[in-house]
Amino acid sequence: MDLEDSEIEELANQASTIARTELSSFRRLRGGGGSGFNDYSRTAPIRANDLAVLKTRFPYLTDFSDEFLMSRSTDELLRIESTSMKLRDAEKGRDVEDRLHANKAALASRVTAVEAGSDNRWTELHAARFLGGAACSTQKLWLQARIHIGLTGHPPLSNYDMTSCGLGGFITNGGWLKLGNPASTRISLQYFNINNCGSKAGAARMLAANSDDLAEIQDLGEFKLALRSLKTAAQFVCPWNFSFLALEGFLIQSDFCRAELLHEDKPAHTLCQFVDFILATNADRWRDSEGFLTTGELASYWASFYGARPKARNSHSGGGPGPMGGGGGVSHSGYSRLPAEKKKRVRFPWVDICHMWNLGKCAKPAGTCVSSKGVPLRHCCDWRDLSNPAAVCGRDHQRTQFH
């Protein structure tokens, strides 16, 4: 517990006041005789109600047992508290990095004994819920949960306080049902779409077993809101599960896969398919007692997922092939908009780069690839910036979201 200088001074003054009060009371009882306060402090026992008051005023004393404290004199207790305040003051002067390292090193020896008790997740909460956060790897936490919780998890609920986070009524009952079962491969982001909640027409969809019966996510803003609802709900249902934070981390780092989806009419639809694929994959890994997919692993999963999808070609007239399989009109649904005159048509000058290789569909060795007219094609990245269509990345890698 860190204390300001004013707080330490106040506690010291309180300790002095209590000492003077004890000494004055003793002298009145002795008629002014005796050798002083120390005679009294060595012999007078601490009563239970007095000990409770001292613990309230001096928090450091709560670390000791009542038996130990009641066997000490008032003077000894005040000396203990005074020493603790000096130690806290000295601790404040240490470097932050040194303090954090010392705290980590002390974890192995600081074992908390968890007493037996009762907990019903609602009206009665066990004190173990308020222990410090686990400092081990998130994969270890996930695997330990698999051992203790079992395959299908705890009974699902829907009365979590999402309203406190500004997301009350954003999740369907089907979403709570699927989220409560870590092994559910049928979980879908559409269960966390607000457009599937709150209407009579959508009431039947809330308990739908098949996500195909739910309204699809249409744009990027709707996708982000559904993702936030999923992540927040998971913090209530399974706070040990960091797979949703790993998924969100990948999407934020890649700017929601903007480089690949910039030319698609419905980028949110593709992202929703990818999220559903990852959710199902993590559910399978839970079933097999394997760790969840981390943010770093998700980058390769996205490259494989997107590279295997058939690419929609945009209709255009004139110009060479564009980096997404077409060089004509480009839709930027959900992303930053171009000026109206540029939004209608973006023409990419032809370059001697193999676009099929960037899509993972050219099996020819480097140096042997040629165009339909016999022009040699390079195997390098064909990514372009819309603000300068003539410029091309040209680096020795396939086109990705990272440049």
Beta-bridge mates of residue 378:
353
Helix (H), strand (E) counts: the chain: 16, 2
Pair (327, 182) in one structural domain: no
pLDDT number for residue 391 = 80
CA distance 309 to 284: 22
In this prediction, residues 132-155 reach a mean pLDDT of 94
In this prediction, residues 159-188 reach a mean pLDDT of 94
Confidence of residue 21 (pLDDT cuts 50, 70, 90): low
Domain-located, residue 335: yes
Domain end point (choices 307, 329, 358): 307
Assessment of whether the complete model's pTM goes beyond 0.75? no
Domain-located, residue 102: no
pLDDT number for residue 183 = 95
57 or 144, greater pLDDT? 144
Are the C-beta atoms of residues 240 and 231 closer than 8 Å to each other?
no
Pair (180, 77) in one structural domain: no
What's the Cα-to-Cα distance from 283 to each of 185, 190, 296, rounded to whole Å? 5, 17, 18
Pair (296, 368) in one structural domain: no
Domain-located, residue 110: no
Pair (142, 284) in one structural domain: yes
CA distance 198 to 280: 26
Nearest residue to 213 (alpha-carbon basis) of 180, 233, 184, 191: 191
DSSP state of 64: S
Pair (170, 57) in one structural domain: no
pLDDT number for residue 40 = 43
Pair (288, 321) in one structural domain: no
Beta-bridge mates of residue 392:
384
Confidence of residue 334 (pLDDT cuts 50, 70, 90): low
In this prediction, residues 294-302 reach a mean pLDDT of 95
pLDDT number for residue 241 = 97
Pair (230, 198) in one structural domain: yes
In this prediction, residues 75-90 reach a mean pLDDT of 73
Task: Judge whether residue 110 has pLDDT over 60.
Answer: yes
Exposure letters 270-298 (e unless 16+ CB within 10 A, then b): bbbbbbbebbebbbebbeeeebbbbbeeb
- At how many degrees (to 10) do helices 243-253 and 267-287 cross? 150
Task: Judge whether residue 335 has pLDDT over 90.
Answer: no
pLDDT number for residue 35 = 46
In whole numbers, what is the pLDDT of the chain averaged over residues?
79
- At how many degrees (to 10) do helices 243-253 and 295-307 cross? 60
Domain-located, residue 118: no
Pair (29, 161) in one structural domain: no
Task: Judge whether residue 118 has pLDDT over 60.
Answer: yes
Beta-bridge mates of residue 376:
370
Give the tokens for residue 92: 């404040």
pLDDT number for residue 53 = 81
Exposure letters 359-387 (e unless 16+ CB within 10 A, then b): beeeeeeeeebeeeeeeebbbbbbbbeee
Range of the domain at 247: 138-307
Q: Long-range contacts of range 373-382, CB-CB < 8 Å, 24 or more positions apart?
A: 376/352, 377/352, 377/353, 378/352, 378/353, 378/354, 379/353, 379/354, 380/353, 381/353, 382/323, 382/351, 382/353, 382/354, 382/355, 382/358
pLDDT number for residue 399 = 78
pLDDT number for residue 361 = 79
Domain-located, residue 345: yes
Pair (157, 241) in one structural domain: yes
Confidence of residue 198 (pLDDT cuts 50, 70, 90): low
pLDDT number for residue 296 = 94
pLDDT number for residue 179 = 96
Domain end point (choices 307, 339, 359): 307
Q: Which of 143-152, 209-218, 302-311 has the lowest mean pLDDT?
A: 209-218
Pair (276, 192) in one structural domain: yes
Domain-located, residue 113: no
pLDDT number for residue 383 = 81
The structural domain count of the chain equals 3
In this prediction, residues 374-385 reach a mean pLDDT of 84
CA distance 75 to 26: 13
In this prediction, residues 364-387 reach a mean pLDDT of 82
CA distance 63 to 96: 24
Pair (158, 260) in one structural domain: yes
Question: What percent of the chain is modeled with pLDDT above 90?
Answer: 41
Pair (166, 204) in one structural domain: yes
Domain-located, residue 78: yes
CB-based burial label for 68 (10 Å; 0-12, 13-18, 19+): exposed
Domain-located, residue 398: yes
